[in-house]
Amino acid sequence: MARILDYNGREADRTVTVSSLLGRRGQPGHLAQVTASTADEAAAAEAAAIEMVVCMSQAVPEVRAGSARLFVTAAIDFTGSVTADELLGVAYDALAAGADAVITARGMQSVERLAEEDLPVMGHLGFVPKKSTLYGGVRAVGKTAPEAVDLWNRFRRLEDAGAFAVECELIPARVMAEIDRRTGLCTISLGSGAAADVLFLFTTDICGEGGRTPRHSRTYGDLASLYEQVRAERVRALTAYRADVAAGAFPDETETAEIDPEEFDRFLEALT
């Protein structure tokens, strides 16, 4: 745990820092990162000894409310920040709300603009879901030698642009291992094998919250079944309530307030 001053100048404890992430390069072992969008998810991640979470930039206040210690990275989407100045504004807002870093899948100029202001910025290489049309669909990136070389060049350009870390998504494990050996970036693997500094999975996949589990993920829970039980119990309770309303069984005397008989008589007199 490190003692820092956040971007508002307030003292805070953090599981890791940008400096410690870079200092772990080449060291054995991994840190763990998951997604969070609510205070409950952030609190659960901290309780589970997860070191890092990533959330959408607008969710930072709620995520930080759930954990004061996790390293929080704010993802800046493709919407809401068209120009470089708008991008910078969103980044500053996220950091002021409690984020420790920002991540963007936008181009190198966007990364450079953030890095010019000494903001801790992560890039996103390999498969970028919202750019999937560029790859012809959902697939690993770097499965041919030319594509792997192009990917390596992108890593180098990202490092030159001033990023300190990179999310590496759906890169073949052997390609990722060779890139990890050569890059100075802190590497965060999402479906790209174990040759990285940080291993990353989505909380929804880990906890089994429903839907298709990606091949690169692993499910450790079954929240989907619990959610279904909650939905079924909600319908059962509402149905029983509606039946009591129809039968005149709700409310009964225990669920209504009473007035003293003398006070009621005085009330009636006042009405006449």
**Is residue 120 packed enough to be buried (19+ CB in 10 Å), middle (13-18) or exposed (0-12)?**
buried
Model confidence at 79: pLDDT above 80: no
pLDDT, residue 270, reads: 96
- The DSSP output letter for 187 is E
| The two three-digit tokens of residue 233, written as one number | 């119990």
The model's confidence at residue 136, banded by pLDDT at 50, 70 and 90, is confident
Which domains occur in the chain, in start order? 2-221 (3.20.20.60), 226-271 (no CATH)
| The two three-digit tokens of residue 192, written as one number | 């790209």
pLDDT, residue 154, reads: 97
Backbone φ/ψ region at 95: left (φ over 0), alpha (ψ -120 to 50), beta? alpha
pLDDT, residue 257, reads: 96
Decide: 30 and 198 in contact? Cβ < 8 Å.
yes
Question: Out of 81-85, 144-148, 200-204, 217-221, which region has the weakest mean confidence (pLDDT)?
Answer: 81-85
Active site residue 169: yes
Distances (CA, A) of 82 to 85, 109, 157: 8, 13, 22
105-121: pLDDT as tens digits: 999 999 999 999 999 99
Catalytic option among 46, 51, 62, 169: 169
Euclidean distance between CA atoms 167 and 172, whole angstroms: 14
Q: Name the average pLDDT for the chain.
A: 95
Distances (CA, A) of 88 to 30, 53, 75, 78: 31, 21, 13, 13
218-268: pLDDT as tens digits: 999 999 999 999 999 999 999 999 999 999 999 999 999 999 999 999 999
The rounded percent of the chain whose pLDDT value lies above 90 is 88
- Closest by CA position to 82, among listed 56, 51, 49, 107: 107
Question: Out of 109-123, 173-187, 201-215, which region has the weakest mean confidence (pLDDT)?
Answer: 201-215
pLDDT, residue 173, reads: 98
Single-letter amino acid code for the residue at 70 = L
